[in-house]
Amino acid sequence: MQRILSEALPGITVLGLDDVVEYAEPVEDQPDFEGNALVKAWAGHRATGLPTLADDSGLCVDALNGMPGVLSARWSGQPRSDDRNNLLLLDQLADVPDERRGAEFRCAVAFVHRGADGIDVEHVVEGAMRGRVIRERRGEGGFGYDVVFEADDRPGVTTAELPREDKDAISHRGKALRHVAPIVVEVLGG
């Protein structure tokens, strides 16, 4: 968030959960990324009074009817494990031919802030990165399913193998943050 938002609003400081008063993180129980992002943004805004950005994202695989989707982080159960999630996904797709391994990362970013009239306002934007799930894990960067995902915009390498700047340019989260940046600039920089 800091890297991408500072492109639109130089000098902005993005605070994380460790930088604000501790509060109970809400349960992500909504059926879609937008709902979960809003739950988190409203919780942060209510607890701190600060303008709050929150996101929710996941991998949606065509051959699995869009799953794991909002369950991406906990696809293989608790406790959460990227390694187990990736192994389970590769196992579920083992017999799926390469031409049917299409997928996309999706992200919703919610921004909640106090409006000029004193009423709290919410905004939600989305971003997507289309690609496919490969047959083995590759790469050390990123997190989650990055080691098994090749973006259509960068074939031949997983998103875990991309330099951070390249991934920011094409990722679902990067796209969503660039969509919300003008709103943040209007609210904070205007």
| Residues labelled as active-site residues | 56
Neighbouring CB atoms inside 10 A of 153's CB total 13
Tokens at 58, concatenated: 């996941």
With DSSP H G I counted as helix, E B as strand and the rest as coil, what are the percentages for the chain, rounded to 5? 40, 20, 35
Let me know how long the chain is. 190
Strands 102-114 and 120-133: antiparallel
| 167 annotated to a ligand binding site | yes
Amino acid 39 reads V
Neighbouring CB atoms inside 10 A of 77's CB total 10
| 23 annotated to a ligand binding site | no
Query: How does DSSP classify residue 25?
Result: P
> Sheet harboring 120-133: ordered strands across?
52-61, 102-114, 120-133, 149-151
| 57 annotated to a ligand binding site | yes
Binding residues for substrate: 57, 143-146, 167, 172-173
Binding residue ranges? 56-57, 143-146, 167, 172-173
Q: Which residues are annotated as a binding site for Mg(2+)?
A: 56
